[in-house]
Amino acid sequence: MRVVKHTETNGRGRHECGSPEHRVHRRLFLQGSMASGLASVASFNGLFSIPALAEETKKQGKKCILLWLCGAPSQFEMWDPKPGTITGGPFGAISTSIPGIQISQLMPRCATIMDKLAVVRSMSTEPNEHFQGVDVLTRGEKPRPPFTRPILGSVVAQQLGQLDSPVPQFVLLDPCPEGNEFKSFKAGNWAGWLGAQYGPVRSGGEYSIPDILRPEALSEMDHEDRESLRKFLSRKFENDRRSEAAAGYNAAFERVQGLMSCAPLFDLEKLPQADRQRYGLGAFAQHALQARHLIENGSTFVMVANGMPWDNHVFQHEMHQMLVPELDNVLFQLITDLELRGMLQDTLVIAMGEFGRTPWLNEARGRDHYSKAWSLAMAGGGIRGGVVVGETDPLGFEITQNAIDNRRLFATIFKALGIDPQEQYDLPDLPTFHRVEGDAQPIQEILLG
């Protein structure tokens, strides 16, 4: 396996410009991904092996599930309802388990666990188009070419990932191969300067880990037997000539059995029927359940998406009447399950998109992109529940209190996971990069302890 450094030195103490990136580029070029938009994250050659982590950087075993509401959901139909106003839309608001906090009537189940949820109603970010929005809200920072900041999942997996787990540490569950701008985004470089091995393993829908199952005609015994002979011969070659290439090759083979053993984690059919019913039968809900399953079994970061269904320029209410209740139930089930399993305090659940939707309705009674004032929610991990951060005006046009940008959001997420937000990346001779730029401070009121 590759030894991983943030950058590769060229043996003369100098560092190459985005060298890992060039390598990724070269491979993407070879795969034709640059041209045809093939998803680079379709490559599952991700985080099966984490380089040895120094003990002190190995945090408390925290984990994270990101429910990625791609396309950008409407805050009015979720966390910041404005019932009875001209911008409020057709859905009402309901009370929650926390007096004084109301959310959309489309979220009755979350209303019962409001004490576990932290809602930010004052997200205010810059990009107003999907690609740029996705970029900033998954990486935490605007791009600064040619450097590519790693995506949240890559950072978390690199920081918190388990060295010896056969289970992939960063998983993207997204059954939709298309997705317009999200498709282009998926074809890009997710792991950035951390290196491609911190990219996600993709599964869901037509995506599965190729060749994770033994050929049917081969018995399990034969499979193991022949591997022991292979190993003997291959190790002998490695040892006889101290071959680094062979060592890497053999190490990769060592992963095969472990990975095959986690094949069931990627098989939706193997999930308990009762759980599948409980989470909801749509792809997003099923993969959210799978995310819980993966986290329980050793993954560190699971991102769940389903294309970009939230981009409702038309059929806004017709779509949100379905998408929001699905999310409502998923959040409820996930948070409840994690709590029942004693995992909630170590597992951060985030539900967010790349921005919000306009207060006004367009002619198609859809809502358009709005990054000026929007909402998201988090629970578990190091997050304090029952708190609403920030506020918008009565029609939801402007933030009236405590605007939160992408940097403060990321500082909060990292802090909640026990990762130092201010730490500097070890990228000598290159511009100084921090995990979160601008000394942005986490949102203290929703952090525990």
Partner 1 sequence: MPQSRTFESLPFLALVFTAGLLVPQCAHAQESEVTAGSTASITDMAVRIDREIAAGYSKHGIEPASLCSDEDFVRRVYLDLAGRIPTVVERASFIEDVSPDKRLACIDRLLASEDYVQNFTDTFDSILMGRGNRGKVAERKKLWRPYLENVFRNNRPWDQVAREILLARPDSPDQAGAVWYLFERQDNAQAIAEAVAPAFFGIRIDCAQCHDHMIASEIRQQHYWGLVAFFNRSKNQKTDAGPRIGESAIGGFSEFANIHGASSPNILTFYASKTVEEPRPEKDAKQEDIDELYQAPLPPNEPRVPKFSRRTKFVDEILSGHPMFAKAFVNRVWAQLMGRGIVHPFDQMDSMHDPSHPELLDGLANDFIATGYDVRNLIQGIVASRAYQLSSIRPQGVDDPALFAWSIERSLTAEQLARSIQIALQQRVENDHPMLPELRERMPDVMPETIVTDVGDTLFLANNPKMHQVILEGSQKDGLIARLALQADPKGAIDDLFIAILGRHPDDAESEAVLEFIQRSGTADSFEGKISRWQNVVWAVLTSAEFRFNH
Partner 2 sequence: MQKTLTRTHDFKLPTAILGACLLQDENELIAACMDGVYRVEIGAKKHQRIGTHESYVSSAVYLAQQQAIVTAGYDGKLKWHSAMDNGLLREEKVHGFWSWDMALSPDQRYLASVTGQYMAGDYKYSPAGETEPSVKVLNAADGQLVHALPHVPSVQSVVFSHDSQWVAAGNLMGEVRVWEVASGKQVGSFQSKDFTSWGIIKSHCYLGGIFAMEFSPDNNEIIVCGMGDMRDPMAGNGKQLWQRWNWREAKMTAQTLDKQSGEGLMEALVLHPAGESFVMGGRLRGGDWNAALFDLASGERIGSIKSGFRITQMFFNSKGELIVVGGQGQPGKEADGKFPDFGRVEIYAIGS
Kindly list the residues in this chain that would bind partner 2 in the complex (CB under 8 A): 71, 86-87, 90-92, 175-176, 178-180, 182, 205, 280-283, 285-286, 306-309, 311-315, 318-319, 321-322, 325-326, 358-366, 397
Q: Which residue matches tokens 């680094």?
A: 244
Site for partner 1 contains 167 (CB under 8 A)? no
In the complex with partner 2, the residue whose CB is nearer, 71 or 381, is 71
The CB-of-67 to partner 2 minimum distance in angstroms stands at: 15
Burial class (CB in 10 A: 0-12, 13-18, 19+), 401: exposed
> Of the candidates 354, 329, 44, 68, which has an alpha carbon nearest to the alpha carbon of residue 206?
44
In the complex with partner 1, the residue whose CB is nearer, 46 or 179, is 46
In the complex with partner 2, the residue whose CB is nearer, 5 or 183, is 183
Site for partner 1 contains 209 (CB under 8 A)? yes
Site for partner 1 contains 232 (CB under 8 A)? yes
The CB-of-236 to partner 1 minimum distance in angstroms stands at: 7
> Of the candidates 343, 327, 330, which has an alpha carbon nearest to the alpha carbon of residue 289?
330
DSSP string, 221-257: HHHHHHHHHHHHHHHHHHHHHT-HHHHHHHHHHHHHH
> The sheet that has 301-304: what strands, in order across it?
201-203, 170-173, 301-304, 63-68, 347-352, 374-380, 117-123, 387-389
The CB-of-10 to partner 1 minimum distance in angstroms stands at: 7
**13, 36, 56, 342: residue in contact with partner 1 (rule CB under 8 A):** 36
The CB-of-133 to partner 2 minimum distance in angstroms stands at: 14
In the complex with partner 1, the residue whose CB is nearer, 145 or 449, is 145
> Of the candidates 439, 436, 433, which has an alpha carbon nearest to the alpha carbon of residue 6?
433
> Of the candidates 309, 310, 351, which has an alpha carbon nearest to the alpha carbon of residue 334?
351
**178, 226, 322, 438: residue in contact with partner 1 (rule CB under 8 A):** 226
Q: Which residues pair with 102 in a beta bridge?
A: 95
Site for partner 1 contains 395 (CB under 8 A)? no
Site for partner 1 contains 230 (CB under 8 A)? yes
In the complex with partner 1, the residue whose CB is nearer, 10 or 112, is 10
Site for partner 1 contains 341 (CB under 8 A)? no
Which of partner 2, partner 1, none lies near 145, with the C-beta cut-off 5 to 8 A by kind? partner 1
Which of partner 2, partner 1, none lies near 243, with the C-beta cut-off 5 to 8 A by kind? partner 1
Question: Alpha helices, DSSP H only, in 50-148?
Answer: 108-112, 130-139
Which of partner 2, partner 1, none lies near 321, with the C-beta cut-off 5 to 8 A by kind? partner 2
Q: Which residues pair with 68 in a beta bridge?
A: 352
Question: Which amino acid is located at 402 in the chain?
Answer: N
**145, 220, 340, 432: residue in contact with partner 1 (rule CB under 8 A):** 145
Upper half-sphere CA count for residue 211 (Cβ side, 13 Å):
5
Site for partner 1 contains 259 (CB under 8 A)? yes
The CB-of-37 to partner 1 minimum distance in angstroms stands at: 10
What is the rounded CA–CA span in Å between residue 408 and residue 443? Answer: 7
Which of partner 1, partner 2, none lies near 199, with the C-beta cut-off 5 to 8 A by kind? none
In the complex with partner 1, the residue whose CB is nearer, 260 or 403, is 260
**211, 318, 426, 445: residue in contact with partner 1 (rule CB under 8 A):** 211
197 and 5 in contact (C-beta within 8 Å)? no
The CB-of-229 to partner 1 minimum distance in angstroms stands at: 4
Site for partner 1 contains 212 (CB under 8 A)? yes
Could you report how far apart the first and last alpha carbons of the chain are, in Å? 39
Site for partner 1 contains 13 (CB under 8 A)? no
Parallel, antiparallel, or unpaired for β 374-380 and 117-123?
Answer: antiparallel
The CB-of-23 to partner 1 minimum distance in angstroms stands at: 6
Site for partner 1 contains 315 (CB under 8 A)? no
The CB-of-79 to partner 1 minimum distance in angstroms stands at: 36
HEC profile of 399-436: EEECCECHHHHHHHHHHHCCCCCCCECCCCCCCCCECC
Q: For the chain, how long is the longest CA-to-CA vector?
A: 78
Site for partner 1 contains 178 (CB under 8 A)? no
Dihedral over Cα of 291, 292, 293, 297: its sign: positive
The CB-of-271 to partner 2 minimum distance in angstroms stands at: 12
The CB-of-85 to partner 2 minimum distance in angstroms stands at: 9
